[in-house]
Amino acid sequence: MAAEANQPSLIPAVSAVYFVVVSILIGLATVTVGGLWPSTHLPSLPVPYTALQLVFGLLVGFCNVAGGAVAYISDGITAWQSINPSLIFAVFLPTLVMASALELNWHMLKRAWANVALLAFVGTFINAVLITIVGRFVMPYSWSWSEAGLLGSILSATDPVAVTALMSAVGASERLQTVIAGESLVNDGVAFVLFEIAEQWQAGDRLTAGSVIGFTFKASFGGAGMGIAFGLAASLLLSLMFDNPVGELWVIVVAAYSLFMVTDEPLLFPRLQILGLSAMLALVACGMVVIAFGRAFISPRAQPFCRHWWRWADWTANTLIFFLSGALIASEVYKSSTLVGKDWGWAVALWALLLAIRAAGITLLYPLTSRLGYGMNWRDAIIVTWAGLRGAVGLVLALSVRNSEDLGSQEFRERLFFFVSLQALLTVVLQGTTMQPLLRVLGFLDLSGAERAVQRAAAQAVDEYGKQAEGELEQQRQISPWQALLGEPDWQRVDALGELGVEKLLEGRPGAAATTVSLEERIEDLRTRALCVTLGAYEEMYDAQFLSPPTFNRLKDATDAAMDGVGSRFDSWRCLQARFGWLARLQRVQARLPRSRWLAWARAAVSAARRISADREVAATAAFVLAHRYAATHLAALLDSAAAAQQAKSLGVSWRQTTLGQTSGMISGTTGWRPLLLTDVEDIDWAHRDALLADVLSNLHRSGSPEQQQLREQALDSVLAEMRQAEAAAAAHLQALRAAHPHSAQRVVTLQTAIALLDRKVDLLAALQSAGMLEQRESACEQAVPQYHTTRQALRR
């Protein structure tokens, strides 16, 4: 009987879980239909996934309240409505903010930080003031300044959940995504601070200029400082782990949720409540520190796992929050007793006013944003204005006002929630669905002349390769064991099913027709592609554990900086040299330290830091030389000459097969190859892959008119000369380093050789286990090769 008496109390909780299941099922149905939609040969749906989820949630909510309660759905909506908004924040916000932050490009964020800060801090304050004025004098509800301030603080910032999901879905450039996503993340933290001030004002607290400034200072800088501390702690823990995907993932997850618990709901540390820290700014700061310092320490085997997990968590959170938002909008609007017909008209008018206010703020800041960072042009300003979406974060804030009786009358609270809800709906649906067409109209999705030429050559190579592969399969029909058992395939059907038609895919791209490409445009394109190849070589070296995380970070940051200047020069070596200052500084410090025995510990610490810095500089310089040789090999194939063929033959087809052997000779001073490093660890046909790339480049070289071919050769000669000059400067620097720090060169090549040897042994153990010759407990790498992790950890310095 007692169990039966307690049974009804479980219904809301169970219904809330069923509501989550229904949300996920509808989300899965949406992405499944979206994946099958192109196969119907109908025009693709221009609606982002998050906008569809919001609309579906809206429809389910209206059907529930207007057409009769649906089993479990009505109870689920009621359960979620009754949940404290702070709990919704605690569940979703750390995941959403951290997932968005981890997708940012750290170099681009640093370069564009001035624009991000102006838009997030100054722009948000301008938006809040103007929206407050609109609520006070334009809206026909006779709201007080504090009531209008609540509206202004909630609607002043764009929503990172909606914006980041949209920008990745519509295919915006990475630079534009970084600016918009960075602004949306930071400005929500600013809006949180403004909301807390407006909330205290509306609740009747006595506010002075000093108290407002003090609270703002504590919330902003205190929250950011707390986030930096947690981010550094997470980065330190990541540097101490290796090859532990679950542990490395949970370091970031625990850092995000514990930080939110300390700053927003300090249950474990009640005294921190008096600090008034901003949880949103703390999460943003923590995420930026992790991508700057901690992300490179995630081991190569754990990176795919962490990346897929965060994408799964981001998709799940977006699915739930937008579907829930739509259901809550429908339920609250339908049940409201204070709304009248004119409120709907004013909601649409407010949407237009919000666009105008955001445009005005961006226009006021344009003289600065056009000169700072990457430099914002008028097309960027239009996209940034149109990307001012409101979403789940504002809805949760409005819901907290709706549920707080001390923040005004019921009429005001219901109307405030209605206006915020309608802005979320209108911005996500109207602006979200039209973002991609707007990007296309403004030319953001267009291909340059050089890009079109390269893509056409690549498409031709893929189609030609497909024909050759089909012929090879037909010739081997007597050899294939599948055909021996099952008989002949339907070769006409094989041809139809295996047709990609890559060239046809380019016909719909803007500007797909052939155009004349200038010499400057070709040089810029070739510089960019050369740097992309070098960056890919760095990533392969890092995945093979031949580069430590700090060294890889330095090389990647230098390559990103060089890509920023490809329009004027190829200065990858100068960008890397600018990051080599620590060794010289430590040498000066070591020379100036007194020989007192009381400072022996200081001399030892500086000597150890100098040794580590020398090792990293040696490894980075050698990797730079090898990556540029590898990139030059691919570019030289464009010349289609005997000299280029001889150069490609002498350099080899893969940095793993050739340049890695040259690394050993280059660093240690010996000549010849190291046979130990000639075989790839992974089962990849590198020679075949690089031969296919050479075919693409050769097709590109032979295409076009004689004048265009001559321009292409001039561009190639120019870029190859720049790359040879950079390689020669780096090789000279490496020789100087070897002369000054011979033990560093030997340590680097010793660790690389030992890792290659251990990798071979571990791969053999795995192969023996797969063949059934060893049991799991007999082939544990940690037991069979105890030096495995020690050597790899030594390289991670």
Q: Which of 180-184, 277-281, 376-380 has the least mean pLDDT?
A: 277-281
Q: Which of 70-79, 180-189, 428-437 has the least mean pLDDT?
A: 70-79
Q: Which of 29-33, 140-144, 582-586, 784-788 has the least mean pLDDT?
A: 784-788
Using H for helix, E for strand and C for coil, what is the string for 745-762?
HHHHHHHHHHHHHHHHHH
Element (H, E) at 686: helix 686-702
Between 616 and 13, where is the model more confident?
616
When pLDDT is averaged across residues 665-689 and rounded to a whole number, the result is: 37
Q: Which pLDDT score is estimated for 410?
A: 83
Q: Which of 119-123, 436-440, 530-534, 705-709 has the least mean pLDDT?
A: 705-709
The encoded tokens of residue 506 equal: 């380019």
Distance separating alpha carbons of residues 282 and 289, to the nearest angstrom: 11
Reduced to 3 DSSP states, what percent helix, strand and coil does the chain have, rounded to the nearest 5?
Answer: 80, 0, 20
When pLDDT is averaged across residues 142-153 and rounded to a whole number, the result is: 91
Which pLDDT band, with edges at 50, 70 and 90, does 483 fall under? low
Q: Which pLDDT score is estimated for 275?
A: 56
Q: Which of 74-88, 303-317, 366-380 has the least mean pLDDT?
A: 74-88
Q: Which pLDDT score is estimated for 505?
A: 53
Contact (CB, 8 A) for 117 and 281: no
The encoded tokens of residue 671 equal: 């000549």
Distance separating alpha carbons of residues 429 and 48, to the nearest angstrom: 8
In the three-class reduction of DSSP (H, G, I as helix; E, B as strand; rest coil), residue 592 is classed as helix
Distance separating alpha carbons of residues 359 and 529, to the nearest angstrom: 36
Between 420 and 699, where is the model more confident?
420
When pLDDT is averaged across residues 79-100 and rounded to a whole number, the result is: 78
Report angle CA 430, 435, 440 to the nearest 5 degrees.
140
Candidate ranges 125-139, 388-402, 660-674, 751-765; pick with highest mean pLDDT: 125-139
Region label for 377, one of left (φ > 0), alpha (ψ between -120 and 50) or beta (otherwise): beta
Taking Cα atoms as reference points, which of 156, 693, 40 lies closest to residue 398? 156
Is 194's pLDDT higher than 50?
Answer: yes
Torsion over CA: 267, 273, 278, 284 (sign): negative
Contact (CB, 8 A) for 279 and 54: no
The encoded tokens of residue 134 equal: 């609109």
The encoded tokens of residue 434 equal: 């039209």
Distance separating alpha carbons of residues 173 and 445, to the nearest angstrom: 8
Region label for 350, one of left (φ > 0), alpha (ψ between -120 and 50) or beta (otherwise): alpha
Summarised one tens digit per residue, pLDDT across range 294-350 is 888 887 778 888 888 888 888 888 788 888 878 877 877 777 767 777 888 999 999
Q: What is the pTM of this model?
A: 0.78
When pLDDT is averaged across residues 675-701 and rounded to a whole number, the result is: 46
In the three-class reduction of DSSP (H, G, I as helix; E, B as strand; rest coil), residue 308 is classed as helix
When pLDDT is averaged across residues 677-684 and rounded to a whole number, the result is: 34
Is 664's pLDDT higher than 60?
Answer: no
Q: Which of 259-263, 362-366, 677-681, 747-751 has the least mean pLDDT?
A: 677-681
Which pLDDT band, with edges at 50, 70 and 90, does 651 fall under? very low
Contact (CB, 8 A) for 644 and 694: no
On average, the pLDDT of the chain sits at 75
The encoded tokens of residue 393 equal: 């974060």
Distance separating alpha carbons of residues 410 and 402, to the nearest angstrom: 8
The encoded tokens of residue 474 equal: 């037909």
DSSP tag of 407? G
Is 506's pLDDT higher than 60?
Answer: no
Element (H, E) at 766: helix 742-770
Which pLDDT band, with edges at 50, 70 and 90, does 671 fall under? very low
Distance separating alpha carbons of residues 778 and 458, to the nearest angstrom: 48
Place of tokens 């902003």: 220
When pLDDT is averaged across residues 102-131 and rounded to a whole number, the result is: 89
Q: Which pLDDT score is estimated for 791?
A: 60
When pLDDT is averaged across residues 501-511 and rounded to a whole number, the result is: 53
Candidate ranges 75-84, 395-404, 756-765; pick with highest mean pLDDT: 395-404
Summarised one tens digit per residue, pLDDT across range 273-284 is 445 677 888 888
Q: Which pLDDT score is estimated for 361?
A: 92
The encoded tokens of residue 464 equal: 């030609």
Summarised one tens digit per residue, pLDDT across range 413-466 is 888 888 988 898 888 888 877 887 888 888 777 766 666 666 666 666 666 666
What is 387-401 written as a DSSP string? Answer: T----HHHHHHHHHH
Taking only Cα atoms into account, the Rg of the chain, rounded to an integer number of angstroms, comes to 30
**How much of the chain, in percent, has pLDDT values that exceed 90?**
9
Is 606's pLDDT higher than 80?
Answer: no
Is 241's pLDDT higher than 70?
Answer: yes
* CB-based contacts of 664-667 (< 8 A; 24+ apart in sequence): 664/749, 664/752, 664/753, 666/622, 666/625, 666/626, 666/731, 666/734, 667/618, 667/622, 667/734, 667/738, 667/745, 667/746, 667/748, 667/749
When pLDDT is averaged across residues 147-173 and rounded to a whole number, the result is: 75
Taking Cα atoms as reference points, which of 264, 115, 261 lies closest to residue 189? 264
Q: Which pLDDT score is estimated for 669?
A: 38
Is 665's pLDDT higher than 50?
Answer: no
